[in-house]
Amino acid sequence: MNKSESPIISVKGVTKRFGSFTALQDISLDIRPGEIFALLGPSGCGKSTLLRIIAGLETATEGSVAIDGQDMTGIPANKRPVNMVFQSYAVFPHMSVADNVAYGLKLERRPAAEIREKVAEALAQVHLSDFAHRKPDQLSGGQRQRVALARALVKRPKVLLLDEPLSALDAKLRDAMRLELVKLQESVGVSFVIVTHDQSEALAMADRIAVLKDGVLRQLDSPAALYKRPVDRFVADFIGSINMFAVSGQRAEGGQARLETAELGAIAVPSDHLPAAGQGALTLAVRPERVKVGAEAPKEAQGEGGLVSVVGRLGDVAFQGNSSIVEVLLEGGGSLSALVSEAEADHLMQAESGSPITAWWALDDMLILPENATAA
Amino acid sequence: MAREKREPAGPFDYSRKLSLRLVFFLGSIFLYAPIVVLVIFSFNNSRRGGNVIWKGFTTKYYEKAFHNDALMEAFINSLAIAFISTLIAVILGALTAVVLWRFRFPLKPVFEGMVSLPIVIPEICMGVSLAVFFSSFGLYVPRDMPFPLNLTNIIIAHITFSFPFAAMVIRTRLNSFNREMEEAAKDLGATEFQVFRDILLPHMKPGLVAGALLAFTLSLDDFVITFFTSGPNTVTFPIKVYSMVRFSVTPEINAASTILILITLLVTFLAMRFQSFEEPRQ
Amino acid sequence: MRPFLAGRVMESYRKNFRAFLAFFTPPFVWLVLFFFVPLGIIWLYSFGETEGLTKIRLTWTLENYKRLLEPEIISLFWRSVWLSVISTAVCIVVSYPIAMVIATAKPKWKPWLLLVIILPFWTNLLIRTYALLNILGTRGRLNDLLHWLWSAGDRALSLIGLGDYHLLGERFMPVKFLGEPVGVMIGLVYVYLPFAVLPIYASLERLDRSYLEASLDLGASQWRTFRQILLPLSSGGINTATVITFIPMLGSFLIPDLLGRGQVDMIANVIERQFKSGNDWPFGSALSLFLLYITFILLALQSFHAMRQRKREEARG
């Protein structure tokens, strides 16, 4: 991505209040040309509101949105160079598929021949050419969504906004559609902004993801960075699965900090591992695939950082196909899970449930997270 | 399907309890018997007090009814009133429905109450008040007014009691409107007016038709309010039948009534068709 | 999950004031002009005095309201009320089982059963009353039926050797319905029965069947389940049914007029006479307003009850 390229959408300091309720708190972010950008968060986090503010269907209480360098303040939805695919698709039920797609062009008073050509092209793009004269109630959910896509794309928007585009589809169709949306984006080249509450969806499709919670932007990064370097406990927990241990006490000891946890006991970490910003109690976190299990931990440390190990009892082993999740019941209460290979799982299955087992991981693989990295 | 029939009745399958079915059956007989008897006796070939004994089949009373000029004039009056009042009632009803569905405004519950008042107050009160209103403002329609302007008072009265019903039906239809449709249209470049014309109005259409059919039957049905707002020269079908009934009971009235029942059935049937069309498909 | 849905569904009238006015003004003006002004006029007239044939002078007299307390009028009210109360009660008792049948019928049958009950309601009131007139006469179909039953009964008695005692009377005596309260009540029930079925049906339809099953599961009998679970849970529907049948019954004109034959007057008949023949508009206005006030009180009680019911349901979860 070319850093010097100017953003196609620039959101600056957007705050939205509904009465006394703050739906969005001082959001600033840039969307680059040609990328798939996901707004991710649990329901009620304000992600849909932000999308609607970009579309002009909602006005921001404070702050501004610029599209392609132009300030959009005061410009209504019907005059903005962005188009939206709605959660319910909002395909007009009384118009045929072709009429739905043509509607936006007709409003622009384009010549009939041009409209016909563009509609045919758009329908071909979403593989609906044979359905042009059907009514929406003769289409499946997936087909209706393609109509909504074609209808928005035929207007050649600078950015396509998609509000929970896959949530109304069944699981199997959803996976196929993910791939298809990515392909479609590559072929048309315009930026997609996708609102979703499904982290796996965002990870699979997006070039960059903005994680929102309670109207606050918690982290904006690439999927890999979000997974590997979540800035706080919420992001780590929301993206992928992770073992977490609350830190109950903390003491500085030379260049090191001793962190007390109920499950792991006291663990010494270099002071510079501690998060620079944020507030609230610390949490230690480690991804299941970083955790190893065995009869006992290796004696010498691998890497520079050393090892963290903990003794527990073997719990359930959940088969996952090419790998298994092993549950380790900890002495201090609670449990942790480890992702192990099939061979390891077979070996572990022979041990009796409840037999002693050790789990360990490299100190460098362990994240030390604040409760909230952004709060002042 | 065949197996279903043999399933034993569950503890709450009231519809399969014989005693309850009997109540339903007798209730239906009670509701239909008088009308069926009326229809049957409209074909009775008996002049004197034609309703007492069956004297053979005839359709002559239908001919007689059709050749009764006063009755036919009343019939045409009724239809004209129904058509004109329906048209205006649907427009007013649609406006009311959109206001109540779309906007938040101060004293909205008061306006809602005002609109529903004509539905709930006794007909006689409305009839009396309109009669007094027309006479005290000297709004007597001149005798030589051309048809259908001579029916203005009755038409006004009918619009007043039927448009709140139409509003109710149309509002129900509006409630099933997906606001994202409106937003999608705006997003594609439509102005407020274009959204209304291209998206909202087509969605309202079944509601408008259902509301119109309701207003039409209400107008055709009304006796009490018309009774108070009609003059000696503006007789509607129910008023005419009423005066005939008071005078004597003749098979001619049975025949005329049967025709009106048929019209009502037809309109009801149409209304049902549109109602089922209205149901969400998805 | 759609947060702020409520806020988005309705927009403030200020946001698009001209559109609001365009929609709001016509129905509002119509309603005020042709509904509230006329009601206002009869309200004023109820404080007036007749002068000459058609002139009414507003003197703010209370005479017209005082006349409501005359024994004649009180007995008129009393008659109207008890006729309506009994007819409403009959309607509710009959429509409850009918509603139960419809609510528990197979889905494909439901609309048809509903149609059977609603269809008469779409038929002209005058024609229905007139149809009843044919049935209820002393030589009408109902008396035919009763005569046939009498003959059958008499023959049966003869067959078992009791023929000479004339236990059912010497001859069949036709029952007089017209001009009698019972005829008017039959008319009221006949016309307003569909009104009562619909709200009860709606409340039964909404009812969660698992309440009934839980009751049965806990050992209650069918009858007890009906009395202690079904009936209380559908009380909202019963209340609505009561109010929406009672109000039009109390104000009905045509049924007592045609079936009562001037012998069983209700309030509306007396009102009509003040305007059509008696020519005492102020008193007629006072009577109309009185009827209107009763209606309002009943509606207020009903909505108060419905509100309490809703609160209770919310508290229940």
**Residue A167 pLDDT class (50, 70, 90 cuts):** confident
- What DSSP character marks residue A239? S
Q: Does B199 touch chain A (CB under 8 A)?
A: yes
Residue by residue, what is the 3-state secondary structure of B77-128? HHHHHHHHHHHHHHHHHHHHHHHHHHEECCCHHHHHHHHHHHHHCCHHHHHH
List residues bridging with A249 in a β-sheet. Answer: A260
**Cβ within 8 Å, pair B157-C16:** no
**Res. C6: pLDDT tops 50:** no
Q: Is B262 on the interface with C (CB under 8 A)?
A: no
- Chain mean position to CA C259: 17
What token pair was written down for C75?
């007995």
Instruction: Please tell me the predicted confidence (pLDDT) of residue B114.
Output: 92
Q: Which CATH superfamily is domain A9-231 in?
A: P-loop containing nucleotide triphosphate hydrolases (3.40.50.300)
Q: Do domains A9-231 and A235-369 have the same CATH topology?
A: no
What is the rounded distance in angstroms from the CA atom of residue A177 to the CA atom of residue A174?
5
Cα separation, B188 vs A6, whole angstroms: 26
Token readout for B82 is 């129904």
Closest CA to A181 of A145, A131, A225, A212: A145
CB contact under 8 A, A18 and C4: yes
pLDDT of residue A375: 55
Q: Is B38 exposed, middle or buried (0-12, 13-18, 19+ CB in 10 A)?
A: buried
Handedness of CA C11, C16, C19, C23 (dihedral sign): positive
* Most distant pair of Cα atoms in chain C: their distance: 89
Contacts of C7 in chain A (CB under 8 A): 18
Q: Is A213 on the interface with C (CB under 8 A)?
A: no
- How many Cβ atoms are within 10 Å of B245's Cβ, its own excluded? 19
Q: What is the mean pLDDT of residues C57-83?
A: 90
Looking at chain B, how many residues does it have? 282
Kindly state whether B242 is in contact with chain C, defined as any CB-CB distance less than 8 angstroms.
yes
Contact C291 B192 (CB under 8 A): no
Q: Which of B188, B193, B194, B277 to mutate to test the interface with A (most CBs of A within 10 A)?
A: B188
Residue with tokens 């197996």: B3
- Averaged pLDDT for residues A319-348: 86
pLDDT tens by residue, B135-171: 877 655 555 666 776 788 999 999 999 999 999 999 9
Q: What is d(CA A41, CA A181) in angstroms, rounded to the nearest whole number?
A: 20
- Tell me which of B9 and C115 has the higher pLDDT: C115
In this predicted model, what pLDDT tens digit does every residue of B89-121 receive, in sequence order? 999 999 999 999 989 898 999 999 999 999 989
Choice among A96-100, B247-251, C122-126, C305-309 with the minimum mean pLDDT: B247-251
Identify which has the larger pLDDT, A46 or B264: A46
Touching subunits for chain A (3+ Cβ pairs under 8 A):
B, C
A196 touches chain C (CB under 8 A): no
Do B11 and C98 make contact, defined as CB atoms within 8 angstroms?
no
Residues of A in Cβ contact (< 8 Å) with C16 = none
CA-to-CA distance for C13 and A59, rounded, in angstroms?
17
Which of A34-43, A263-272, B22-31, C124-133 is predicted least confidently? A263-272
Q: Which of A244, A205, A210 is nearest to A336 (CA)?
A: A244
Q: Band the pLDDT of C316: cuts 50, 70, 90.
A: low
Please check whether residue A90 touches B, CB under 8 A: yes
Distance from CA of B182 to the nearest CA of C (A): 11
Q: What percent of chain A has pLDDT over 90?
A: 55
Mean pLDDT throughout B33-37?
89
DSSP state of A271: G
**Bridge partners, residue A326, by sequence:** A317, A338
User: At residue A315, what are phi and psi to the nearest 5 degrees?
Assistant: -105, -140
Query: How far B122 CA sits from the closest chain A CA (Å)?
Result: 41
Give yes or no for B193 touching A (CB within 8 A): no
To probe the interface with C, which of A18, A52, A167 has the most C CB atoms within 10 Å?
Answer: A18
Beta-carbon separation of B194 and A152 below 8 A: no
Burial (Cβ within 10 Å: 0-12, 13-18, ≥19) of residue C252? buried
| Cβ within 8 Å of A, B 114-133 | none
In this complex, the residue of B180, B198, B199 whose CB is nearest that of residue A86 is B180
Structure tokens at C151: 């003959």
Whether pLDDT at A261 is above 80: yes
- Measured between CB atoms, does B247 come within 8 Å of chain C? no
Domains in chain C: ranges and CATH: 67-138+176-316 (1.10.3720.10)
The answer to whether the CB of A45 falls within 8 A of the CB of A195 is no
Q: Residue B52's pLDDT is what?
A: 60
Per-domain residue ranges of chain A: 9-231, 235-369
Q: How far is residue C22's CA from residue C28's CA, in Å, rounded to a whole number?
A: 11
CA torsion, ordered B123, B127, B130, B131, to nearest 10 deg? -170
Mean pLDDT, all residues of chain A: 88
| Torsion sign across C-alpha atoms C242, C245, C251, C255 | negative
Helices B108-120 and B69-102: crossing angle in degrees, nearest 10, is: 160
Distance CA C239, CA C236 (A): 5
**Domains of chain B, start order:** 2-61 (no CATH), 64-278 (1.10.3720.10)
CA-based nearest distance B111→chain C, Å:
8
Cβ contact, residue pair C4, A49, below 8 Å: yes
Q: Given an 8 Å threshold on Cβ–Cβ distance, is B188 in contact with A87?
A: no
Q: Does the beta carbon of A78 lie under 8 angstroms from any beta carbon of chain B? A: yes
Chain C nearest-CA residue for A22: C4
The pair of three-digit structure tokens given for residue A150, joined into one six-digit string:
């074609």
CATH architecture of the domain formed by A235-369: Beta Barrel (2.40)
Of the listed ranges A130-144, A146-160, B209-223, C147-161, the one predicted with least confidence: C147-161
Structure token digits, residue C46? 């109820």
Mean pLDDT over B178-183 rounds to 90
Per residue in C212-235, pLDDT tens?
A: 778 777 877 778 888 888 888 888
Residue A188's Cβ-side half-sphere holds a number of Cα atoms within 13 Å equal to 25
Handedness of CA B134, B135, B137, B142 (dihedral sign): positive
Task: Indicate which of B104, B187, B193 best probes the interface with A, i.e. most A CBs within 10 Å of its own CB.
Answer: B187
